[in-house]
Amino acid sequence: MPELPEVETIARGLAPLLTGRRVAGLTVLDRRVFQGDPGEFEHLFSGRAITRVFRRAKLCLVEVEGGALMAFHLKMTGRLFVTRPGERPEPHLRVLVALDDGRALHFTDMRRFGSCRGFAPGAIESWDFYASLGPEPLELDAAGFRTALAGRGGRIKAVLLDQKAVAGVGNIYADESLFLAGIRPDAKADRIPAAKLDELFEALRDVLSRAIESGGSTIRDYRSAEGVEGSFQWTFNVYGRAGEPCTVCGRALTSQKVAGRTSTFCARCQRASFGS
């Protein structure tokens, strides 16, 4: 957490608050979450107008005139929000971006797993993590999705979580998509027929789109840029529901570790093999 829908929700919420505003100053309060030189960070962004706020994979990106980028990776407990002039900062403030109207963008992170980086124009393409990211699932078609997964012989849940295959998918939306497609998380990816992969692609697009419309899923800490909890968690079919009845057949849901993550599924509705 947060995954693609949550970061997309945050970026959409920040965009109208930040776009057009100039960066009045930057303060790095915790070097453990800031990767780079704070002085260079200040030089790149101070005095420049913010032109765009957008998402790539699970990164929230803030672009200023000239093309420099701030990249925020929220990981488990990172939050981004804009405060009013004189508003008392919340605990765990790590990076503060002052704006020309007296407001400020705050990056907080209770557990310090998240990070903030600054990139000169075009330099983000040289960041190994960013360069390795796979395609965006909401920008693919079914054929592109099959291509992204081609040649990957691991379990399908592990493939979906691999940011080099498709970008932005995490534990919640992998489980939910696999349930809708009728595929067990431990099914071998390279043994799933093309028609079934097409079903998975449609399920993934559906789940991600509905999650974005719902403002994401709040399990514990996630809030939008406006401080609002997501509501998609109230529609979960499997995630976090081990032992509860399947919403389709009523059988108790099963959980096991796949790719190091707890994965919940219905042993009756979801298949692990698809031989003829």
What is the Cα–Cα distance from 197 to 194, expressed in whole angstroms?
5
The verdict on whether 135 is a catalytic residue reads no
CA distances 212 to 42, 153, 215, 270, Å, are 33, 30, 5, 25
The verdict on whether 85 is a catalytic residue reads no
Tally of CB atoms within 10 A around 43: 14
Would you say 265 and 178 are in contact if contact means Cβ atoms under 8 Å apart? yes
Structure tokens at 163: 């940011």
The verdict on whether 16 is a catalytic residue reads no
Phi, psi torsion values for 222, nearest 5 degrees: -65, 135
> Catalytic: which of 152, 205, 261, 268?
261
The verdict on whether 58 is a catalytic residue reads yes
Q: Is the peptide bond before 135 cis (omega within 30 degrees of 0)?
A: no
Q: Which amino acid is at 233?
A: Q
> Catalytic: which of 55, 56, 58, 241?
58
What is the Cα–Cα distance from 43 to 260, expressed in whole angstroms?
41
User: How many residues would you count in the chain?
Assistant: 276
What is the Cα–Cα distance from 113 to 220, expressed in whole angstroms?
15
3 state DSSP class of 175? helix
> Catalytic: which of 2, 5, 137, 185?
2
Give the residue numbers annotated as catalytic, written as ranges: 2-3, 58, 261
